[in-house]
Structure 1
């Protein structure tokens, strides 16, 4: 345990089963999946199988899955694609102030092209109030995009309630589920979402691959134009190698049922921190509506990055930026109105499949010495 990784929300290692599933495409399956001959047909079959595996994870139809280069492209395709295709119906979008930059920056871009965007705030736990979303709607609202869970503090949003509001008003609803997939069960029909973004490297698949679920009937303008790949929504020969990796990763996630064990380990970590540093450690995010693997805590009157710098064997992250001793709180903590003396000591510990109680105990020992 010379090195311990607790930054699974940033990126996960590739699962061994995923590596194994990809191996044949590095040697034997080299044909173009669009080709109709002997070299193309088996590759197309592998691509279709991967699409089915991704679809099974979120309980949708395979023809509702579009492969992308990752969560950022999925979000861009959802937002820009929907706006460009449907702006004749209206030009208003509703999102939240704590979204990932892959949502906030496309929204800012669309504002330059005439879109009007309302950024709904959050409470002290980083949670959106569905009533605030409904209040923000206008006759010109065509799209609502609220993240499924926050990548920094792990707070899970009331997606089902917000989706119901969208459905009641006849508005399309998108959610960025990059951090939720593989950590908690997802069902697009149960939660009534119209579009959902996934990222491979958050779910033990390679970087550079993702997917966008688009409910049948939703029309988007492609962002990459060319031949009619991916049901005409993303031109370019499909990256079957990475798609197969994502498919296998989704299959593994679908068959796992260790959510409660992960939550128990995270709760153990928090309880030990609370006992070790009474009155000096604060939980950021919701106590219950939180990803089972995510623990964002603040060491009061400390600087989170200083703590991590003093423990080089620990891989974790802090959303706040530190420049020459001055700490700028992350936008998420600012929106949660976390005081600076608390927020500057924030560290996000995100656990994964290889995290054990022994590793957590080792991290606690390191923290005791440093803090």
Structure 2
């Protein structure tokens, strides 16, 4: 019999939680950060290197994969895990966010969304049923409901209409998903910044019953203060015994603030995208390796970091290969960023288990406030 999807909470400290999501392909330690493998690859990284950073799960993108190489082709070739050589869990988003962001190319109705491919202009239709079918073909372990995510700011009437449509699509997603032992379906809470609309959305999702619940519609331009304002109440509106996933977040201090408010899972392109553009995240804040101050610096990026980049390469070398546009630059810088993000997650898991999250958080912010080490003379 196939092992079923389950979630167990091991400890809480305030609203912060640590636990384990169990899947047939392995356990996911929470709080968890999911590197984004948009087109069946985490850019500039080998899958085994991503695993070495401490990642238990990756995110794949339904919209991009349905267009190229197509979900049908991936299915014929053995599924997404085999296709990209990743044997741990994979979460796929529904494709809704990418479709909605192509506003000039799409038409939305009650049925779903028709749109033109950004690649070749070909026409496609994405509905809750089609999204479930694509994600089944991909073989992902955690499937996301198809929803609409309006950009913020937006007026209350628009947000309410969007949320209500997403809840109808959530029921259709559940019906189309069916019974798939070992695979999970997450519902997505919407409602913008409005507490009552968020509550209404949560009640609708709980009535349908999902294996986990996402807080959607944030990190879309509202700013950190507004996002934290929603997270002060939104996770509490969702079931305590199911994973809570904040979509598309974020920067290190966003992640810490979200976990503090009861979030268990997050994803973001930031560590890999920033790595390719020369922006590095360290315990002492952000470092721009392109700056001339690093050209003669024989020190590592972060002397306390245990990633291969910091263990084996100097700031001077990292500066050189970035300025010279060498491919190894994106590889080394992305590896460091992903390692650092996973180090944050492990630090929070340990702190919550030891009931010292507040102290860990204070140290995290104080160290980041120090700023980068002084330049060499």
The alignment's TM-score, normalised by the length of structure 2, stands at: 0.30
The alignment's TM-score, normalised by the length of structure 1, stands at: 0.30
Greater relative contact order (CA < 8 Å, ≥ 6 in sequence): 1
